[in-house]
Amino acid sequence: MASTGSNSSAPSTDDEATSDVIVGVPVSSQTAAIGEIVRSARVALTRELAGLRGRIVIVDAEAPDGTPGQVERTLGDDRDGLIVLPAQGSLSRGRALRRLFEVVLERGARGVAVIDRTAAVPPEWIANLARPLVDGAFDFVAPRYRRHPFDGALTKSIVQPLFRACFGLRIEQPMATEFGCSRRMLEHVLQTQRWPGDNDQTQIDLWLTTTAVSGGFKVCEALMGPRRRGSRDEAQDLSGTIAHIVGGLFNELERGAAVWHRVRGSAAVPEFGTAPDDPIEAPAVNSSNLLDSFRLGYRELSGVWAEILPPATILELRRLAAAPPQSFRMDDRLWARTIYDFALGHRLRVIARDHLLRSLTPLYLGWLTSLILAGRAAPESAIETRLECTGQAFEDEKPYLISRWRWPERFRPVRFE
């Protein structure tokens, strides 16, 4: 194994070569916070997970950026318990994670906590991700962040409810870039599962979550504090982000169709750890801008939507576009059916996939406007209830998705152009 660092380059004893738990950080570009991340992980391993043999593994996924040099500058000679896997060419996040997982198995660790490269996390949160794995109680740990209900609306409006309805577990962040995996699950994904290739549009993080859920592994959520901006938040524009995230989700639906067709209802997952309960400030949003975007979208893109959505949905969207702000409310069932129709349109390639995904942007902004207008003066709990209703609507409308998925030829969109 090519590596640098005092303990990894030349392990002298079996004790040094093996670990109980590993904290992994895939680094795909220069990371200013690498020093803080390592220090925080070190505190987590020595204080929060005391008594366990822990290592920190940094996977350099981009050759020219000089991550090993940056680590050396930041930490100097203080490289206790640190392993830096130097770049072997430019690696995708998927390949970087695979490399990390192979090291975890080589070192005999009971689990790995993967941390996003963008900013340091408190040691307690790293420990929350790792402890359920080393205790042997769980195989996959997803993070549960403390967020305002308006924050992360794309995840809350599409990813979370669709994952819940299809895979039957209420996980807050099915596509999180921070998670924990047990040795048992790593062996499963590395040895028995077809690892997604670089050209595969599958989101590797979502792929791991769906593999854990559909593979019958024990899943829990680790309570984390307020979410920092992750590496996935760096996308240039909203429509690009939607195309990336929702496209990955729809690909997973295609891959796991045999599994989710059999799933009925949903269950909450156990929570692990404690998180601060400080109130979180609502993000300031200009709802009239969002509403204008939806109306402009309806005016110009209804012809494109008509190739994806049935006429009844287009009619409801027309009514919604004409509604004044005070009565603007997107029905949860309408939203659920719309997303299901887009998922099916994506599967059948009714139009170019990128066009289909990007044309979803005004509809998503319409849903967001509806949430903001309804919850602006309401307490957080009321907005959470509304989000729960959205999730329930996705579950209720799942038979619609299944019937359309199985018999797509029964449906022919009507062209208005």
Judged by the rule CB under 8 A, the positions of this chain that interact with other proteins are 150-155, 227, 229-230, 232-233, 237-239, 241, 245, 283-286, 289, 292-293, 296-297, 300-301, 304, 307, 349-352, 355, 358-359, 361-362, 412, 415
Tell the smallest beta-carbon distance from residue 159 to other proteins (Å).
9
Tell the smallest beta-carbon distance from residue 238 to other proteins (Å).
6
Tell the smallest beta-carbon distance from residue 286 to other proteins (Å).
7
CB-wise, 50 or 378, nearer to other proteins?
Answer: 378
CB-wise, 17 or 351, nearer to other proteins?
Answer: 351
Tell the smallest beta-carbon distance from residue 146 to other proteins (Å).
13
Tell the smallest beta-carbon distance from residue 361 to other proteins (Å).
5
CB-wise, 138 or 367, nearer to other proteins?
Answer: 367
CB-wise, 34 or 356, nearer to other proteins?
Answer: 356
The position carrying tokens 């970087």 is 96
Tell the smallest beta-carbon distance from residue 409 to other proteins (Å).
9
CB-wise, 214 or 361, nearer to other proteins?
Answer: 361
CB-wise, 55 or 227, nearer to other proteins?
Answer: 227
Tell the smallest beta-carbon distance from residue 285 to other proteins (Å).
5
CB-wise, 218 or 353, nearer to other proteins?
Answer: 353
Answer yes or no: are the C-beta atoms of 180 and 129 closer than 8 Å: yes
Using a CB cutoff of 8 Å and minimum separation of 24, what contacts does 195-198 make?
195/94, 195/98, 196/94, 197/94, 198/92, 198/94, 198/95
Neighbours of 254 (CB within 10 A): 12
CB-wise, 94 or 362, nearer to other proteins?
Answer: 362
Beta bridge partners of residue 60, listed in sequence order: 27
CB-wise, 105 or 285, nearer to other proteins?
Answer: 285
Tell the smallest beta-carbon distance from residue 258 to other proteins (Å).
25
Neighbours of 382 (CB within 10 A): 13
Tell the smallest beta-carbon distance from residue 220 to other proteins (Å).
22
